[in-house]
Amino acid sequence: MTTPLIAPSILSADFAKLGEEVRAIDTAGADWVHVDVMDGHFVPNLTIGPAVVKALRPHSDKPFDVHLMVSPVDLWLEAFAEAGADHITIHPEAGPHTHRTLQTIRSLGKKAGVVINPGTPENVLEYLIDMVDLVLVMSVNPGFGGQSFIDSQLRKIEAIRTMIDATGRDIFLEVDGGVDVNTAPRCIAAGADVLVAGSATFKGGPDRYAANIAALKGKTG
């Protein structure tokens, strides 16, 4: 089975020592650093802004995968790009002109991604796929870490894998929410190549991060 890239969500890190936590997951084998940005309006939770991303940037050379759960989203693209985001992913529900939003992200020199909520069908990608470098399938409703994986999203991952393969381009297919050692292999079998994992990475504290990430990659120690 393909070895996935692992993107720990720092939403599950110790917020009192975020720089240290980012360094710890980097050393432990994280491939990307997933940053959940929530505005208390698009989703019922409030997290971090561009100043925190900028402060964390020197702590790792790994790509910063910034998941914007913010509406309206366009106002924030430049600030997160300048703060050091490498990937910026947006929800189509978070602004009136998704295609233009993706154009803007790319014009800022960043990889652009669309995030598909559990209740949103994959056909939202039909006229956007030429504009994306990654697709992020939410396997929980956005807003919180530690929720249970929604099984129905596996069928969506399979459908999006077929859509991506038909483009002939390299587009990452990422899954976010409730990913653990049990659900990870199912996501990979369905066609995912990047797994976001918050609780499953950070559980047990820093001494466990390397083993947790290895287990998500399907490598037993």
Residues that bind ligand 5SP (CB under 6 A): 9, 11-12, 34, 36, 67, 140, 142-147, 176-179, 196-200
**Residue written as tokens 């038909």?**
166
Binder of Co ion out of 24, 33, 37, 67 (CB under 5 A): 67
CB-nearer residue toward ligand 5SP: 104 or 139: 139
State the Cα angle at 118 between 181 and 123, rounded to 5°.
Answer: 120
Return the DSSP state at 24: H
Q: Look at the chain and count its residues.
A: 221
212-216: list long-range contacts, CB under 8 Å, 24+ apart: 212/28, 213/6, 213/8, 213/25, 213/28, 213/29, 213/30, 214/29, 215/181, 216/4, 216/6, 216/179, 216/180, 216/181, 216/184
> Would residue 207 show up in a list of annotated catalytic residues for this protein?
no
Query: CB-side exposure of 97: number of CA atoms within 13 Å?
Result: 7
**Least Å distance between CB 36 and ligand 5SP?**
4
Q: Which does 71 bind (CB under 5 to 8 A by kind): Co ion, ligand 5SP, none?
A: none
Closer to ligand 5SP by CB, 83 or 200: give it: 200
Note if 180 is an active site residue: no
Convert residues 9-48 into a mask of x (bound to Co ion by CB under 5 A) and - (unbound).
---------------------------x------------
Catalytic one among 31, 36, 39, 133?
36
From the list 39, 65, 133, 176, the catalytic residue is 176
Report the catalytic residues. Answer: 36, 176
